[in-house]
Amino acid sequence: MNRGGMGNMQKMMKQMQKMQKDMAKAQEELAEKTIEGTAGGGMVVVTINGNKEVVDVNIKEEVVDPEDIDMLQDLVLAATNDALKKMDELTNDTMGKFTKGMNLPGMF
């Protein structure tokens, strides 16, 4: 019986378990991070957490003009999308180190 093959399999399984633990830790760390998205040169700032939940919206006083409500809504939308895009990039950068060379559809 070839024991070398069994040892390699056990080693590979240990490496996979370590990778799973490392990935879980990285996901937990991502969930604790916040990212700011901005629009209108910083007039509107939207902050999201790693779970892609909006946790804060900050609008500079000079933006609020009842006649410009459509512009304000567009700025909030743009800032939110900016924050979400940045969180996607952070997630891909953080989790990508675990999946280099692997095709794992639907993971992230």
Domains annotated on the chain, with CATH: 3-98 (3.30.1310.10)
Q: Quote the pLDDT of residue 48.
A: 87
Q: How far apart are CA 35 and CA 87, in angstroms?
A: 6
78-100 pLDDT, tens digit each: 888 898 888 888 888 888 877 67
Q: Is the pTM of this model over 0.75?
A: no
Residue from 84, 89, 80 nearest 38 by CA? 80
Burial of 96 (0-12, 13-18, 19+ CB in 10 A): exposed
Using alpha carbons, list the distances in angstroms from residue 51 to 2, 72, 75, 91, 99: 47, 25, 22, 10, 20
- pLDDT higher than threshold 80 for residue 52: yes
pLDDT at 102 over 70: no
Each residue of 17-37: pLDDT tens digit? 988 898 888 888 888 889 899
